[in-house]
Structure 1
């Protein structure tokens, strides 16, 4: 096909009803992997499915981590408060009888916070490539995939159990499981900043307390017709709930390493998914 013909192809969504031939040409490998296609910004309002999948992965990953050590890889509010309590414990009781030890749960929370911040910092790569471009959304999600795969390998090599019965006796305690926590938290930090940069009703796709509050405050909460600001928040909350349920169910069947392997596959699918999200209608193919 001549270059001029390719340049004149409309995108799906650019016209009310693209023909089957036009759609097939737009979806061809030559078009999908062209620089122009990859560097085009996606339309955030039309990225509902991959963003909902992000929320699903939040519940999925957190269910695995919490089941083992009662620490969240994505919800850093709890981990931050836990570290504050660990510091306050140094001043509890009379001098000479204070607990100055750094408890295992506190070490795991600190590992999660630091690696989460590292993952979020990696998200700033997208500021140079274009935070909403298909290229960065694909690459960033693929990096999350590699982090999740690394977590699966390290927890498998650790040889430790997948679930804990009590907070005082976490299932993970050796060095390799610290690396597992780090990879899981880094993947969530990167996901969070990528979700935030897309700038939709899904927010960061990892912290849904704000989403719950905004949903309850939505003036159109009880309207029966379709309302994007409300419906997308509901989709995110439901997706996270289903992700947590699925994560625990899979964990009980095949263990944490196998569950993280499943999560790796899902993240790989999401990364490819970004290549097919429609671009902004205000942009035209050059």
Structure 2
């Protein structure tokens, strides 16, 4: 009897509360849905510009790539034969390769842990982490922990191993892009590889097909052009500002916008 009296004394849920609960349920369902294949490639194409921008900046400043590991492999090989142009340049490249490899493993496991690579919450979380890593790298350079001057004010023989922190952070996050590309089934836009992209583009038997008849060919061309433009912009920004961090803040801003785009709020509102 006492329990029934307590239940009767409680006020009923207001319509606003019911609407809030319904909105939460819709939001959870929206984030648990799979990303549509016909729109998932757009953010990845933007990532190609980000790759060019990042590598164009970091190579100029620290003599290594953080996304494209083919060049780093050659740098390590040259270092072992005593032909590295920069003291311990092979160490930067080896750090980048190692952190990129660890990043591939970590992002792949993370995607599986939270439900699958194609889910909206997966790509949202993945790009949020990538953005966070870029922000941390830009912040430690901005704060003076790492020399961000371009060109560097140090003597070429003066080695600063603190630079490895930025290389490690940026290489780790770059791995997330290609893991997302594979997970979403957009392998024609790997975002961090040009060699295989060009091979697949030129060897496509439908290379000269009409624009509307070969979407993969179109995406490969756009990916190549955006990577090239990104690298050019990275060089221009570094030269104009005399610093590394402006390019990295730009990268962080772009990745932040990409992260928000994965929310797909337009789709959510249309389903409301």
Residue 278 of structure 1, CA deviation: 9.1
The corresponding residue for 2:101 is: 117
How many angstroms apart in 1 are the aligned matches of 2:189 and 2:25? 27
How many angstroms apart in 1 are the aligned matches of 2:26 and 2:66? 33
How many angstroms apart in 2 are the aligned matches of 1:266 and 1:77? 25
Choose from 25, 28, 33 the match for 1:40.
Answer: 33
Choose from 257, 260, 276 the match for 2:264.
Answer: 276
Q: For the Cα contact (< 8 Å) 1:79–1:110, is it kept in 2? A: yes
The corresponding residue for 1:240 is: 227
The corresponding residue for 1:205 is: 191
1:258 partnered with 2:243: no
The corresponding residue for 1:158 is: 145
**The 10-residue stretch of structure 1 (77-86 or 210-219) with the greater mean CA deviation from structure 2:** 77-86
Q: For the Cα contact (< 8 Å) 1:45–1:200, is it kept in 2? A: no
1:133 partnered with 2:119: yes
Rg comparison, structure with higher value: 2
How many angstroms apart in 1 are the aligned matches of 2:238 and 2:124? 27
How many angstroms apart in 2 are the aligned matches of 1:123 and 1:174? 29
Residue 237 of structure 1, CA deviation: 0.8
The corresponding residue for 2:162 is: 176
Aligned with 1:219: secondary structure?
A: coil
Q: For the Cα contact (< 8 Å) 1:148–1:260, is it kept in 2? A: yes
Residue 175 of structure 1, CA deviation: 3.4
Residue by residue over 1:62-118, the C-alpha shift from the partner in whole angstroms, topping out at 9 and shown as x without a partner, is 1111111221111112212322333345xx9xxxxxx9xx94101111111111112
Q: For the Cα contact (< 8 Å) 1:51–1:195, is it kept in 2? A: yes
Structure 2: gaps spanning 5 or more residues: 1-14
- Which runs of structure 1 show a deviation greater than 6 angstroms over 4 or more consecutive aligned residues? none
How many angstroms apart in 2 are the aligned matches of 1:42 and 1:278? 13
Give the RMSD, CA atoms, in angstroms: 3.0
The corresponding residue for 2:71 is: 78
Q: For the Cα contact (< 8 Å) 1:73–1:185, is it kept in 2? A: yes
Residue 274 of structure 1, CA deviation: 1.3
TM-score of the superposition, structure 2-length normalised?
0.79
Choose from 215, 221, 224 the match for 2:201.
Answer: 215
Residue 56 of structure 1, CA deviation: 1.1
